[in-house]
Structure 1
Amino acid sequence: MNTHNRLRHPLEREALRCRLFEGPDGIDGYAIHARDAAPDSVRIAGRALRVGWVSDAAFAPVDPEITAAVAAAANQLAGFGCEVEEVTLPFIANAFGALATLVYGEIVPSIKILAAGRENELHTVGAGVVALSDPSFADFAAAHVEAERLRSAFAGFFEKYDVLLTPVNPMTAPPHALQELTVNGVTVPWTHVMAATSPFNLAGLPALSVPYAFSSEQLPIGIQLVGRWLDEATLLRLGAMIERKGGLGDRRPPL
C-alpha cells in the first residue's frame, strides 16, 4: 500500500499536517526550538477542564452584548462538562502601554531606516509611526519588567485554571478612523479595541478567537480562549466544540 492510500483518512492527514508545522523554521528568533516542548500542565487525568471567565471586571468598559456572549459561552462550556467560574484578573493593569513600548521600541528604528528619504510617500499611519520618538531606556526596561510581572501572575492563574475565557474586543467593529469610541456609555481612546488582547500578546500566551454571535446591529461577536504556554491543543479542541455548537448555529455566509 503506498503512502497516499495510507493517509486517506482525514485524521491521518491532519496528523501529518501537524507534524509538518512542528518545530522551528530557522527564521523566527522568538520561536521555541525544542521539538519536544510541551505545556507544563498540572491537570489531573480524568478531571474536567477548569475554565475561568471574565469580561467587564478586567476589560471595562465592554459592550453589554459582548459580555452576554462571553457569559453564554461560559454556560456552554459548563454544559460540556467543564468546571466554570467567573474571575477578575486584578493584575492586568496597563498591558497595552507596556506592549506598545516594546513593539514600537523594536520596530520604529528599523522603519525609520527603511523610510529615510521617502517620508513624503508614506501613508498617514506610516507617517505617524516614523514621527514617534524612540522610548527611553528606562521606559523600555520598565516595559520588560511589566511583561515579566504579567507572566508571573498568569503562571499563578494557570495553576488553578486550564483555560481563560474573555472577549476578543470590548466593542463590535467601530466606524473607520475614529480617535475616540463610546463603549457602554464611556468614552475611551481607539486603543481600547486592544484591551482584551494586549495582555496575552505581552505575556506570550496562546489565544484563540472563535466566532460566536451577532450583535443587534448584525455585527460579529467573537469570544477568546487563552491557555497556558504551549497548550494550543486544548484551545483548538474547545474552540472547535464551541464553533460547532455555538451562538451562530447553522448560520453560513451567503454564496
Structure 2
Amino acid sequence: MPLGVKDLLATAGVRTTGGSAVYADFVPDEDDVAVQRVKAAGAVVLGKTNASEFGYSAVGHNPLFPATRNPWNTALTPGGSSAGSAAAVAAGLGPVALGTDGGCSIRVPAAHCGLVGYKPSMGRVPAYPGCRDERYPGMSGWESLEHIGPLTRTVADTALMMSVLAGPDPRDRHSIPCADVDWRAAASRGTAEGAPGLRVAYSPDLGYLAVDPRVREVVEAAVGVMERELRWDVTAVDPGWPDPAEAFAALIVAESDLSGIRAMADAHADVMSPHLVAWMRRPWTAEQLTDANITRKAVVNRMARLMSGYDLLVTPTAAVPPFPVGIQGPERTDGREVADTAWIGFNYPANLTGQPAVSLPAGFTDDGLPIGVQLVGRHLDDGTVLRAAAAFERVAPWAHHRPQVISGDRATDRGSNREHSFAARRCTPT
C-alpha cells in the first residue's frame, strides 16, 4: 500500500525536517514506531508530507517549503498541521497517510479535505522518537497531548491502518494494550449492522465558540441523518466546561523544550515561523502553567460526567470552512471578533482528555468546500467510535466525491451534481 508520512514522524535514512529550516538537513537513524509498523506490514512510503513548523499551527505553511494547498480549491488551506498528508490523500496521490494530532492536526485537515481523520485514544499508537526524544528541541514536545493516526478516504481503511498501528511499546510510557479493540471487526459491524441505540450528545458550539453558519447548516443536516436514518438518540447539550484555549496554549509550552526553542530562536529567528517565535518568547509565569493543569482537570472531569450518559459527543470539526492560504485563521466568525486560533476550538478538548475522536465528511458548502463532523467517544471506547463512523458512512457515503485533477490554480468536484449536503440527500450507497 502506498503511504505518505507526515514530516514530524522520524524516518530512518530519510530527511525529517519537522517543517523547520533549522532541521533542513536532519536525517534520523531510526523510524518512528508507527512508521516501523506500517513498513513491516508492507506499506511503501512514497515520501514525507508537509507540516507546519514542529506542528505549532493548524495550517499548512512553514518557512522551509511552499505552502500546502487544498485540492478542492488551491487558493485555500487544507488545514494542518498534517496538511500534506491530507492534501496528498484528497488529491489521490495515495489511499492513506500518517498524521499526528496534538490539538486538531489530523481531524481539521481531514475536515477541510473531505477525508476520514482518526485520533485514537491516548496511547493506542506509541509515539517514539517523535515528541519523546529529548535531544531535539521543537521535535520533542506535546508528550501528553500528541496522538498518531491515519488520514484515509474510508472508515474501512482507517480500521485497517489501526490494526497495524495500535499496540504498546516500552519506549512510550503512555502506550497501552489494545486487546479490547478489534479494529476491522468494529468497522465491519458498523457497515453491516449499523450502530443501533447509540446515545448522542450534540453540541453545535460547545457553549462558547463562534461557528460559521455554513458549517452549522451542513453539520445539523448530518446530525439529522443520524437521527432519522440511524435512529440514534440525539440530545442537544452544553458541556459546561470553560473555554480551555489559553490553558491549551500554556500546556503546549509546558511540554515543549522551552529553553531549547528559545535558544534556537535566538540563533535562527529569521528562518523560523514568527508566530512560533512569539509564542515561545512570551513571558510565561509558573501560575499560567499550573493554572493550565487545573483547567485541564476541569475539562476532564466535566467530560467524564457528560459521557456517563452518552456514547458519543458530536460537534462540527472546524468552526469555519477552508480559508485562504497564508493566514493562521479568520479573526471574525459569524459576526464575532475571535482569535485566529478559535476555529479549531472543537478539537483540543479530546486531546486534553485523551479520548478517541474522528472527523468524517458531512457535506459541502454551496461553493463546494468540504465540511467535517466530529464524533468523540468515551474513554478508551475506540470500538464504538469506529462502528458509529462506519454506520454513518453507510447511509451518507462520501468516497465517490473527489476533487478534480488539479490544473493551474483551480480545482472543482469531478461531478457536476454535488449537493449542498450529501449527508442529507444521499442516504443509500452509490
* Aligned equivalent of 1:31: 175
**Structure 2 residues without counterparts, runs of 5 or longer:** 1-156, 182-194, 406-430
* Aligned equivalent of 1:48: 197
| Cα pair 2:208 2:243 within 8 Å, conserved | no
Percent identical pairs in the alignment equals 27
1:128 aligns with 2:278: yes
In 2, Cα distance between equivalents of 1:16 and 1:188: 39
Using structure 2 for the length normalisation, give the TM-score.
Answer: 0.49
**Aligned residues: CA RMSD:** 2.8
Deviates more, 1:238-247 or 1:48-57: 238-247
C-alpha spacing 1:186/1:121, structure 2 compared with 1 (3 Å)? closer
* Aligned equivalent of 1:235: 385
Deviations 1:151-191 (A, max 9, x none): 11111111100001101111112223266522112221111
**Pick from 198, 204, 224: which aligns with 1:75?**
224
Using structure 1 for the length normalisation, give the TM-score.
Answer: 0.79
- Structure showing the higher helix proportion among its residues: 1
| Cα pair 1:54 1:166 within 8 Å, conserved | yes
Q: CA deviation at 1:36?
A: 4.5
For residues 7-22 of structure 1, the aligned pairs below 5 Å read 18-22=162-166
Q: CA deviation at 1:18?
A: 4.9
* Aligned equivalent of 2:287: 138
- Could you say what secondary structure the match of 1:51 adopts? strand
**Pick from 208, 213, 216: which aligns with 2:363?**
213
**Structure 1 residues without counterparts, runs of 5 or longer:** 1-12, 39-45
In 1, Cα distance between equivalents of 2:290 and 2:268: 31
Number of aligned positions between the proteins: 233
Q: Which has the higher contact order (CA 8 A, sep 6+)?
A: 1
Counterpart residue type for residue 28 of structure 1 = D
* Aligned equivalent of 1:102: 251
| Cα pair 2:199 2:234 within 8 Å, conserved | yes
Counterpart residue type for residue 218 of structure 2 = A
In 1, Cα distance between equivalents of 2:273 and 2:161: 38
Counterpart residue type for residue 62 of structure 1 = V
C-alpha spacing 1:59/1:97, structure 2 compared with 1 (3 Å)? same
- Could you say what secondary structure the match of 2:235 adopts? strand
- Could you say what secondary structure the match of 2:403 adopts? coil
